[in-house]
Amino acid sequence: MSPSPWRLAARTERMNPSVIREILKLTELPGIISLAGGLPSPDTFPVEAMRAATTRVLRDHPREALQYAASEGYPPLREWVAAEVGSRGVAVDAAQVLITTGSQQGLDLVGKALIDRGSRVAVESPTYLGALQAFTPYEPELVAIACDDEGPLPAALAAEGQGARFLYVLPNFQNPSGRSIGAARRAAIAASARDVGLPIVEDNPYGDLWYDAEPAAPIASLWREGTIYLGSFSKVLAPGLRLGYVVAPAEVMPKLLQAKQASDLHTPSLNQRMVHEVVKDGFLREHVPTIRKRYKAQRDAMQAALAAHLPQSGPRACRWQVPGGGMFFWLELPEDVDAEALLPRAVERGVAFVPGAPFFAGAAKKNTLRLSFVTVAPEAIERGVRALAAALETTR
Amino acid sequence: MSPSPWRLAARTERMNPSVIREILKLTELPGIISLAGGLPSPDTFPVEAMRAATTRVLRDHPREALQYAASEGYPPLREWVAAEVGSRGVAVDAAQVLITTGSQQGLDLVGKALIDRGSRVAVESPTYLGALQAFTPYEPELVAIACDDEGPLPAALAAEGQGARFLYVLPNFQNPSGRSIGAARRAAIAASARDVGLPIVEDNPYGDLWYDAEPAAPIASLWREGTIYLGSFSKVLAPGLRLGYVVAPAEVMPKLLQAKQASDLHTPSLNQRMVHEVVKDGFLREHVPTIRKRYKAQRDAMQAALAAHLPQSGPRACRWQVPGGGMFFWLELPEDVDAEALLPRAVERGVAFVPGAPFFAGAAKKNTLRLSFVTVAPEAIERGVRALAAALETTR
């Protein structure tokens, strides 16, 4: 046999199968209550609206929907996005909007345009795993910024963020921690970042999914020329369409656009037109509240179950915040409990979760885990949390 | 005003707006016959079949079509692709098939997995511009392999290709040159590449669009473990769906898959299911011949017009091959004619084309241009070529 002719790029040594993906395989056993997922509930997909929109698009504009199109995206959808983010206080022109194949692609394009091998990139602690996966192939040096319950500490930003290519931050109901950054902290982060010349990449997949109070205005509204803002239709419509967007300062946009063109020419025309057809007349104003209502009940059920079954004081106390929105609770277990070691015991007892360690770019807190409440009915949430508590009992 | 906080990655200096894209803007004026396009004719899109398939998918599997899905792709579509490439002599398992967001993404993933900064990458001369755009962000040193009318010269491959990460080759009706590599040359290329340990990336977007005789078996069938094979649904169904695939040796697949996951998580579920629904019962066997018939007539019209209006002998002779398939004629003008300088004169006379220079990774032949025959009716092709001949007359 001849030796292999293939030589892989050095970057592939840092690329690994998603830990979560591997865990999900282990936990997709029958009878297991999975609180491990990161998927929205398919009960929230507006199937009828999608069907009607698709029918109209393929009836009225089949050739355009099936033909190659501009890399920037479908112009009316870009206009819609500009108006949408404008309504959140981020005044932009449609020319600053780039439609992407899911917001995961937005993260990849940001990496392609901004990261050199060895560039420092500042991230929250913990941070979104998909962003780490998107940035890693560009071989950055990741810098974990110290965070408290309200996100990155402005002083840590000033100390650690200087010279980094950007700070990646997910201010609303973060995946995995569920935490949100309040208005005052956002202002402090923007001021501190501006002081040290650290641009911000602000990711907002969950902002519409608030259950108690609407989130503060995006950081992008505070420092427009220093912020790239990413949004997505995955959580308010459906993720399988792979539709997201990037709003970028004029100075960065041309390179993001060229990176987009090199990556997949453009996001599928049909999908862009379908989604525009669904959203253009205000559909989300009626639809999103129905998602909020459903998820809020599930969040409340998880909070009640956690409070009922997990110790909140004493030497075995667990700690969590009630997330104001999004999809996740983040649990801190007693210091001596390794969530990864806990997982098989939990699965034995009928519940699965995602250990927290993979979400840390720096030193991992191994005693953390993520629980999703959106795909499981309240009654099953209660049973799942009880099983988790039972597994935790065995670690005493 | 504070200084800009943004610092772009070094790779962005090599990334440029697509020359063709810029040219297309100039030539989209009313009244211009555009032979510049690279788009398939929308008359070939099977709109009815797409509508019916979409209706079935959104009726029978709406939740799956709208939900997140595996990065590898929709399993039945992967099976279909494995059978399809198997019928061409490339025996593979569905596990070796990765569904991509157009074959442009396949090229990007190949770059991400295989190219380090400064890696040598061997390409044909001329070569597909989209591939150059996909590879360039990974900062390769491109090596243009000498070619004749039948593609890369095996001796040049052995001399120049050694140590390169791969040879990128488009053997059927190449974009831009229209040329095809015959069976004997394919065998010689495979043998030569294997000798020097040079893997091959074989791109086949046009193989089904043959007008005279079916192309030879893919190079991948001659050196399975040394070849990555890329295919696309863009030319046989519709490009706006952005659906392609990569067939890769087991040793490379895991890294392509991780690169895919980092890039956009997965190709839209709906699009994959739609296309599978369209193709699963043999639709392409009936549909593709209708495309061939249409494009063959247009190719013949262009050949007739070129033969009628352009000098083929003497000092002002032009040179071209009749492409056996695909979408393009490639014209070599007299040595002293710069096609880029010719373009405005042609546009003045009512016809547009794409100058050939951007398709060369090495020294560009400036006296070349590309003509597409697929979106223009035979009568307009005749007028367009006449206008081109008139513009050429002014260069005497």
- The model's pLDDT over B15-67, given as tens digits with 9 standing for 90+, comes to 987 777 677 666 667 789 999 988 999 999 999 999 999 999 999 999 999 99
Q: How far apart are CA A390 and CA B39, in angstroms?
A: 61
Chain B nearest-CA distance from A74, in A, is 12
Q: Phi, psi at residue B317, to the nearest 5°?
A: -65, 140
- Structure tokens that stand for A238 in this block: 């459906």
pLDDT at position B109 = 98
Whether A120 and A141 have beta carbons less than 8 Å apart is answered as yes
Inform me whether the pLDDT recorded for A264 exceeds 90. Answer: yes
Inform me whether the pLDDT recorded for A26 exceeds 70. Answer: no
Q: Give B-chain residues touching A8 at CB under 8 angstroms.
A: 113-114, 252, 255
Check B270 against A266: CB less than 8 A apart: no
- Give me the mean pLDDT over the A315-325 stretch: 97
Q: For every one of its 396 residues, what pLDDT tens digit does chain B have, with 9 covering 90 and above?
A: 578 999 999 999 999 877 776 776 666 677 899 999 889 999 999 999 999 999 999 999 999 999 999 999 999 999 999 999 999 999 999 999 999 999 999 999 999 999 999 999 999 999 999 999 999 999 999 999 999 999 999 999 999 998 999 999 999 999 999 999 999 999 999 999 999 999 999 999 999 999 999 999 999 999 999 999 999 999 999 999 999 999 999 999 999 999 999 999 999 999 999 999 999 999 999 999 999 999 999 999 999 999 999 999 999 999 999 999 999 999 999 999 999 999 999 999 999 999 999 999 989 999 999 999 999 999 999 999 999 999 999 988
Kindly report the number of other CB atoms within 10 A of residue A18's CB atom.
18
- Structure tokens that stand for A235 in this block: 């959580």
Chains A and B form CB pairs within 8 A to the count of: 248
pLDDT at position A3 = 84
pLDDT band at A1 (very low <50, low <70, confident <90, very high): low
Q: Which one of A1, A8, A50, A276 makes the best mutation probe of the B interface by having the most chain B beta carbons within 10 Å?
A: A8
Whether A267 and A233 have beta carbons less than 8 Å apart is answered as no
Whether A6 and A342 have beta carbons less than 8 Å apart is answered as no
HSE toward the beta carbon, residue B179, CA cutoff 13 A: 20
Searching chain B, which residue's CA lies closest to the CA of residue A257? B17
Q: Give B-chain residues touching A54 at CB under 8 angstroms.
A: 54, 58
pLDDT band at A30 (very low <50, low <70, confident <90, very high): confident
Residue whose C-alpha is closest to residue A65's, from B287, B47, B56: B47
Searching chain B, which residue's CA lies closest to the CA of residue A117? B9
Judged by average pLDDT, the poorest of A31-35, A129-133, A267-271, B279-283 is A31-35
A2: exposed, middle or buried (C-beta count within 10 Å: 0-12, 13-18, 19+)?
A: exposed
Q: With helix as H, strand as E and coil as C, how does chain B read?
A: CCCCCCCCCHHHHCCCCCHHHHHHHHHCCCCCEECCCCCCCHHHCCHHHHHHHHHHHHHHCHHHHHCCCCCCCCHHHHHHHHHHHHCCCCCCCHHHEEEECHHHHHHHHHHHHHCCCCCEEEECCCCCHHHHHHHHHHCCEEEECCEECCEECHHHHHHHHCCCCCEEECCCCCCCCCCCCCHHHHHHHHHHHHHHCCCEEEECCCCCCECCCCCCCCHHHCCHHHEEEEEECCCCCCHHHCCEEEECCCCCHHHHHHHHHHHHCCCCHHHHHHHHHHHCCCHHHHHHHHHHHHHHHHHHHHHHHHHHHCCCCCCCCCECCCCCECCEEEEECCCCCCHHHHHHHHHHCCEECEECHHHCCCCCCCCEEEEECCCCCHHHHHHHHHHHHHHHHCCC
Whether the predicted interface score ipTM is above 0.85: yes
pLDDT at position B29 = 73
Among A21, A59, A270, whose Cβ lies nearest the Cβ of B241? A270
pLDDT at position B3 = 84
Check B66 against A102: CB less than 8 A apart: no
- Give me the mean pLDDT over the A324-338 stretch: 98
Q: How far apart are CA A86 and CA A334, in angstroms?
A: 44
- Give me the mean pLDDT over the A66-90 stretch: 96
Q: Phi, psi at residue A121, to the nearest 5°?
A: -130, 125
Kindly report the number of other CB atoms within 10 A of residue A122's CB atom.
29
Inform me whether the pLDDT recorded for A233 exceeds 80. Answer: yes
Searching chain B, which residue's CA lies closest to the CA of residue A48? B58
Check B259 against A194: CB less than 8 A apart: no
Q: Give B-chain residues touching A68 at CB under 8 angstroms.
A: 39, 234, 239-240
pLDDT at position B237 = 96
pLDDT band at A396 (very low <50, low <70, confident <90, very high): confident
Q: Which one of B41, B48, B101, B135 makes the best mutation probe of the A interface by having the most chain A beta carbons within 10 Å?
A: B101
pLDDT at position A29 = 74
Residue whose C-alpha is closest to residue A361's, from A136, A128, A142, A116: A142
Residue whose C-alpha is closest to residue B67's, from A65, A237, A353, A99: A237
Q: For chain B, how far is it from start to end, CA to CA, in angstroms?
A: 55
In degrees, rounded to 5, the angle at the alpha carbon of residue B7 between the alpha carbons of residues A133 and A158 is 80
pLDDT at position B169 = 98
For chain A, give the mean pLDDT: 95
